[in-house]
Amino acid sequence: MRLHPTFRDKCRARLRGIPGPRELEPSLSLLGDLRRIGWFASFSAGPQMSTEPVPWLTYPALYWLSTVRRELRAVFEYGSGASTLWWAKRSARVTAVEHDLHWFRRIAQAAPANVSIKHRDGDDYCTAICDTDEQFDVVVIDGGPSRNACVAPAIERLAADGLVIFDDTHLSYHAEGVERLHADGLRRIDFVGPRPGSRFIEATSIFSRSLDRWAAADGVPAYRPWFDDGSPASAVQT
């Protein structure tokens, strides 16, 4: 089983992406929107959306997360990075575990006071969430040697109405973890689309026993097109 696209796969994907004469205008329009939300810049400056550093999740997932209005007490991350700093602005406490020592030191240096980051590897990485009896509002599974092995400990420390964010669920070798979440009664929503720093359409999935508690109940959708200034009169009729 291949885990990543080969060079040949990437070449074939690029060739399929070359627009024909009638496809050029809509292709350029879409590329313009991708530039506006930060996709192009993310290849040189890291994951971002509209110039803000963000988790390395798909853009549809990021927009959905930006609509969540509830107060977060505690977030746990398998895998650290710009996401750790992003969650630190949205939660009272963030705990992260990182298996890469260089990356651990880099993020630990930049982390604010409400972030605790641990360096672990192997089985100790997956069970790091069990170092405390705390129940987490959000558990992010987005890194480490085995994401599937992180699922059981994540469920054990997940709050009753908590949210699990499992990245790269489009990859077949994460199917075991997805099935385990379903077996424990969690329901899933998939967010499929481009992500910062990636050339392909990918998937981020969210799981919860109480998805309705996370859905936006007020306000307007997080995404605004370039021609919309936010006022009702600016809506474009087609």
- Residue 236 is predicted with a pLDDT of 41
Q: Report whether 125 contacts 103 (CB < 8 A).
A: no
- Residue 235 is predicted with a pLDDT of 43
Q: Using alpha carbons, list the distances in angstroms from residue 162 to 136, 150, 185, 186, 213.
A: 7, 16, 12, 10, 9
Euclidean distance between CA atoms 53 and 41, whole angstroms: 11
pLDDT single digits (tens) 90-148:
999 999 999 999 989 999 998 999 999 999 988 899 999 999 899 999 999 998 888 99
Domains by residue range for the chain, with CATH:
52-213 (3.40.50.150)
How high is the mean pLDDT in each 10-residue block of the chain (238 residues)? 69 77 88 90 84 88 90 95 92 95 91 94 92 95 90 96 96 94 96 93 96 85 75 46
- Residue 47 is predicted with a pLDDT of 84
